[in-house]
Amino acid sequence: MREDQIKSILTDLNGRSASIEASALISKDGLVLTSALPGQMDEDRVSAMVAALLSLGDRTAAELSCGQLEQTLVTGSHGHILIVHAGPQAVLCAIANKTAKLGLLFLDVKYAAQAAAALLQ
Amino acid sequence: MQVDDQDPNLSTFCQVGGLSRQDQHIMAKVAVYIRPLLPLLTDRFYEVLAEEPSIRPYIEGRVEHLKKTHVVWLNSLFAGDYGPEFIQRQEKIGETHVRVRVPPLFVAASMAFLRGALPPVLAANIPNAQDAIAATASLLRLLDLCQYLIDRKYAEVLMDNLGISPALLVRLQTVGKGTTAKTL
């Protein structure tokens, strides 16, 4: 039931913009909680790397006195990976193509993360 | 060995490596023959280190202090007590190496030196040949144990500094190396 609700949050997120191609909710230890990733992506690999990225982001923000980490954005030549906390135990990752409007992407992912965090409490 | 039941990895190490109470017994038994020779071995060890340009900067100006620490550590191998305190001492070394930025290479190289240098010392100075053979086997197992404990703690502390939990580290180590199809 709860998994279905979280899954629907990710499905809604992916449907909000054509630029959002995939998303996943991942535990801080890198385990997939639920995902809406294209079949060709290895969700185990993606989830471990995403959790590691957010952990590094946390430490980097603290080390450089930037306060609490809000998000980690990785931009490649073909698109973006946005990673945000979804409560204390989970991480929301969204993958968007290069056409994404970053402001909208940040907002959509933030709201989805808040909704997922509420369900995980 | 007094292995912590809460540490399954260490239990596996001891089981596969054959570490047992026999090792404690034989090392304590031969200690009297070997301990007086350990300071000389440490001197030789630091002569070798001093000749290595990549290591010299790490020891310059504090060789005498490091030698004292090394002799104490060598003596602990012959104490016959490899319980929680012994384990914690090795882990402390791993923690210290992260703090002072001594890379794992130095531990591996140091252990390799000892694996080569110590067996002849045991063979030449333990009167009973069977004891010398048994003590050499125990010593090599203990050196492996120390290296495992030092390196394990080194990795734990390093990952903790990066915010990577032990569970996440295991995930990162075990996920396949295949390419994720999408290229970003």
ipTM of the predicted structure?
Answer: 0.75
Report, in angstroms and rounded to the nearest whole number, the Rg of chain B calculated over CA atoms: 19
CB-based contact A91:A51 (threshold 8 Å): yes
Q: How far does chain A reach from its first CA to its final CA, in angstroms?
A: 14
Cα B24 from Cα B82, distance rounded (Å): 7
Each residue's pLDDT, cut to its tens digit, for chain B (184 residues) gives 555 567 888 999 988 988 888 999 999 999 999 999 999 999 999 999 999 998 888 888 899 999 999 999 999 999 999 999 999 999 999 999 999 989 999 999 999 999 999 999 999 999 999 999 999 999 999 999 999 999 999 999 999 888 888 888 888 887 766 545 444 4
Whether B182 and A95 lie within 8 Å, measured CB to CB: yes
For chain A, domains (ranges, CATH) are 2-120 (3.30.450.30)
Whether B162 and A42 lie within 8 Å, measured CB to CB: no
Instruction: Provide, as residue numbers in chain A, all residues whose Cβ is less than 8 Å from the Cβ of B157.
Output: none
Instruction: Provide, as residue numbers in chain A, all residues whose Cβ is less than 8 Å from the Cβ of B171.
Output: 29-31, 44, 47-48, 51
CATH no., domain B8-173: 1.10.490.10
Whether B183 contacts chain A with CB within 8 A:
yes
Rounded alpha-carbon distances, angstroms, from residue B29 to A18, B24, B40, B80, B81: 75, 9, 21, 8, 12
How many CB pairs (< 8 A) connect A and B? 69
